Amino acid sequence: MPSVGRSLPRREDRPLLQGRGRFVDDIDFDGTLHARFVRSSVAHALLLGVDSEEARAVTGVVTVVDAAELALPPLLPPIDNPDALPVPRPLLATGKIRFAGEAVAVVVADSPYVAEDAAELVAIDLEALPAVTTTAQALRDDAPRVHDQPTNVMYDKRFSTGDELPRGPVVIHRTFSSSRQTALPMEPRGLLARPHGDGLEIWASTQSPHMLALAVAAGLGLAEDQVRVMVPDVGGGFGLKAHAYPEELVVAALARRLGRPVKWVEDRAENLTSSCHARGQTIDVTVSADADGVLTSIDADVVVDMGAYGVYAHGHLLEAGGTPSMIPGPYRLRDYRFRSRAVATTKVPLGAYRGVGLPVATFVHERAMDLVAAETGVDRAEVRRRNLLRADELPYTSVTGQRYDSGDYGAALDTALREIRYSAFAEEQAEALRAGRLLGLGFAVYVEYSAVGSSVFAGRGMLGLAGYDEANVVLGPDGIVRVWTTLPSAGQGITTTFAQLTADELSVDVELVEVRPVDTAVGRLRGNGTFASRSAVSGGGAIRVSCEELRRRLLEDAADVLEASPADLEIVSDAVRVRGAGTSSVRLVDLAAAAAPDRYDVVRRHDPEHPVYPYGAHACRVEVDPVSGFVRILDYVVVEDCGRIINPRIALGQTHGAVAQGIAGALYEELSYDEHGQLQTASLMDYLVPTASEVPPVQVEHMHVPTSASLVGAKGVGESGTLAPGAALANAVADALGAECNSTPLHPTVISDLARARLARTAEGVR
């Protein structure tokens, strides 16, 4: 019986539920030292000196190191893009502080408690400079320069289909904004490094172990094979752990220098003030349409608050590159212009977070659709139907060069509207309003790119991203098929889904497949890592081509034993047999025992030629409390096409989790800074994360339009759920209030004022 398509229980769950998970902080060795970073409390300043004498005198402190003593080169993302300026990031601040939370020194002690106490004794001599806290401020001619560049604009990309964009009778200009947010994984960052021979062994909570290994090797002047990175259990990543950070290189360097294991585990305060943030965009948009609501052109000015540095290895092109490329969305549009800028400020650097720019793009094009509908008087759903690409138009290359592979966008919208009871809502809303209740309904259609390959990364100038992934599939002498890949599991269930894929590709029982943790020393593997919904497509593709070669070898060897043609053989369960001759077979374990070393040890690579394009539609019904401004979600429907579903239970969990994060960004989460560059939401007392009480039940419907763009038929499911909630909820709340909602999160105070105004207008109309 095939494994793919079945809701097999997650293999990862039992040890986690029984407390047998093994995370970075659970790993220890005799003589392990602990690192604690000394961080700047000031956002922008000249660094005049570091006095660590008092800290060094604390019993248990082994050393205190600043940039001068560390003497290692900065992290410089390998970006080759004519529109981008280089932004090197020192491992420890040198000469200048560029954000509150930047590491200035590191204390190493024999316990984490001693290290933390001693870190508070390190004195930093600073000469304060004016903070640069908004992009509007940063873009002024007289703004302080964050870097030694003539401008604070670190990336400036322009695109246009022509000198003049056509204009229809309907022209709408609006400004949309998305606040900064963060991924907030349950397990913050962590790394343990210990000397091994003339190199290092590293255990890291990371989504990109091979990238980390290469960064450490390059930064410390080691050969690639001198750095081994192993990935234990990872308590969530969501993109935040897809980068190599300065702290990781510093800890690795200290372990090598001191000749002892050194561990660093981030606390929640560090996580909020020094791990990468995301979103943080302002977009001025002019949308033009004809009188029937058909788009004629879009003109967008995208400004991204990139913070102080670019992250490694993506640089500062993530949001600024992703958002404008997808503002056209799933719609038929040929005339488009954008300018996109990444602007340096004295804030935490911007990095990856589930969706990377695409939730903002979806917010823009779906709010624009509602605005076009309001201006033309055409129904909101009908405006979308008139502009959505039809199924028979796919594959379709968008105006920005995105090759939408397959799908039925209109069917996704129609299904979502049916399930949310759109046709009956107007009457329900009017009746509720007469009773003093504010109901709203909103929906959003989206398309995204996922599983980006090396050609796309190279085209963007992101030279530090492999774009491909590899798999090592080995049939052992015990008859067990073991699989290593370049994609660590960070909670998304790939230990289970990769086993299912392997079992079906080899036609063996899934119980005979064991997916092993990622280890850069195994199988000579190199690859990209787990992010951008690439696991099933890129990793699954690597597993498939590896299994095809292993199958070929097995059938070839079994043919000799069974005196048959390989074409007449099949693998069933745990043996190779002659088709139609049930008694003529040879067990896999016997083939393995007789095989030459490495005969059944296969490594293959998959580099997706094109991205794949999951899509879908979200719809929701909400009620707004006019007193508190609280938005209660009454119903939430997701219709999505993520291609072939490997494990329905896991796909459903991925969608639920993504929607929860999308709702969080729409209604709750915001990283807010004051004028001095101080983060005002620097703890979970202030950074509002929704609980199970705020996240509603989500109805999920799957579509299955085949795609030939993926070797395994999958499109990726991890990110899609985050793209539409902001737009769907903003549209629903706007519908309830009779007012526009063009910024996220939707602040309760603003909503409350608008709600009371709506009720007052209604009462006035009644009188």
Q: Both 122 and 28 in a single domain? A: yes
pLDDT digits (tens, 9 = 90+) for 156-191: 999 999 999 999 999 999 999 999 999 999 999 999
Domain annotation covers residue 280: no
pLDDT digits (tens, 9 = 90+) for 278-321: 999 999 999 999 999 999 999 999 999 999 999 999 999 999 99
Amino acid identity of 398? S
Tell me, what's the pLDDT at 524?
Answer: 85
pLDDT digits (tens, 9 = 90+) for 182-228: 999 999 999 999 999 999 999 999 999 999 999 999 999 999 999 99
Q: Both 197 and 258 in a single domain? A: yes
Question: For 255, phi and psi rounded to 5 degrees?
Answer: -60, -40
Tell me, what's the pLDDT at 581?
Answer: 76
Domain annotation covers residue 291: no
Q: Both 100 and 218 in a single domain? A: yes
Average pLDDT value for residue range 117-146: 98
Tell me, what's the pLDDT at 580?
Answer: 85
Residue that terminates a domain, selected from 570, 585, 606? 606
pLDDT digits (tens, 9 = 90+) for 493-551: 999 999 999 999 999 999 999 999 999 999 989 999 999 999 999 999 999 999 999 99
CA distance 306 to 80: 18
Domain annotation covers residue 337: no
Question: How large is the angle between the packed helices 648-667 and 725-737, nearest 10 degrees?
Answer: 50
Percent of the chain with pLDDT over 70: 100
Q: Both 595 and 644 in a single domain? A: no
Size of the chain in residues:
767
> In what helix (H) or strand (E) does residue 441 lie, and over which residues does it extend?
strand 438-447
Q: Both 474 and 522 in a single domain? A: yes
426 near 408, Cβ under 8 Å? Answer: no
Average pLDDT value for residue range 559-582: 93
CA distance 350 to 364: 20
Domain annotation covers residue 329: no
155 near 341, Cβ under 8 Å? Answer: yes
170 near 376, Cβ under 8 Å? Answer: yes
pLDDT digits (tens, 9 = 90+) for 584-630: 999 999 999 999 999 999 999 999 999 999 999 999 999 999 999 99
Tell me, what's the pLDDT at 767?
Answer: 39
Paired sense of beta strands 615-624 and 631-641, if any: antiparallel
Domain annotation covers residue 600: yes
Q: Both 508 and 566 in a single domain? A: yes
Tell me, what's the pLDDT at 475?
Answer: 98
pLDDT digits (tens, 9 = 90+) for 640-658: 999 999 999 999 999 999 9
Q: Both 443 and 425 in a single domain? A: yes
Domain annotation covers residue 714: yes
- The closest of 498, 479, 489, 587 to 544, measured between CA atoms, is 498
Q: How many domains does the chain have?
A: 3
Helix, strand, or coil here: 127? strand
What domain range includes position 435? Answer: 356-372+379-448+611-766
588 near 603, Cβ under 8 Å? Answer: no
Tell me, what's the pLDDT at 201?
Answer: 98
Tracing tokens 């004809």 back to the chain, one arrives at 290
Residue that terminates a domain, selected from 541, 574, 606? 606
Tell me, what's the pLDDT at 705?
Answer: 85
Q: Both 121 and 259 in a single domain? A: yes
Q: How many CA atoms lie within 13 A of 191 on its CB side?
A: 29
Domain annotation covers residue 283: no
Taking CA 170 as the corner, what is the angle to CA 167 and CA 173, rounded to the nearest 5 degrees? 85
472 pairs with which residues across the strands? 484, 603
| Torsion angle in degrees (nearest 10) through CA of 334, 177, 80, 609 | -50
Tell me, what's the pLDDT at 751?
Answer: 97
Average pLDDT value for residue range 114-131: 98
Domain annotation covers residue 118: yes
Q: Both 600 and 506 in a single domain? A: yes
Amino acid identity of 517? P
Q: Both 593 and 652 in a single domain? A: no
pLDDT digits (tens, 9 = 90+) for 415-471: 999 999 999 999 999 999 999 999 999 999 999 999 999 999 999 999 999 999 999
Average pLDDT value for residue range 347-354: 98
Q: Both 69 and 215 in a single domain? A: yes
Taking CA 91 as the corner, what is the angle to CA 49 and CA 150, rounded to the nearest 5 degrees? 80
pLDDT digits (tens, 9 = 90+) for 380-412: 999 999 999 999 999 999 999 999 999 999 999
Residue that terminates a domain, selected from 606, 631, 663? 606
Measured over the CA atoms of residue 578, residue 584, residue 589 and residue 591, the dihedral's sign is negative
Tell me, what's the pLDDT at 236?
Answer: 97
Q: What is the mean pLDDT of the chain?
A: 97
343 near 95, Cβ under 8 Å? Answer: no
**Helices and strands of the chain, counted as H and E runs:** 21, 29
Q: Both 435 and 400 in a single domain? A: yes
pLDDT digits (tens, 9 = 90+) for 52-74: 999 999 999 999 999 999 999 99
Confidence grade of residue 4 (pLDDT, cut at 50, 70, 90): very high
Distances in whole angstroms, Cα of residue 134 to Cα of each of 131, 280, 343, 576, 742: 9, 10, 9, 65, 18
- The closest of 597, 573, 598 to 587, measured between CA atoms, is 573
Average pLDDT value for residue range 707-727: 94
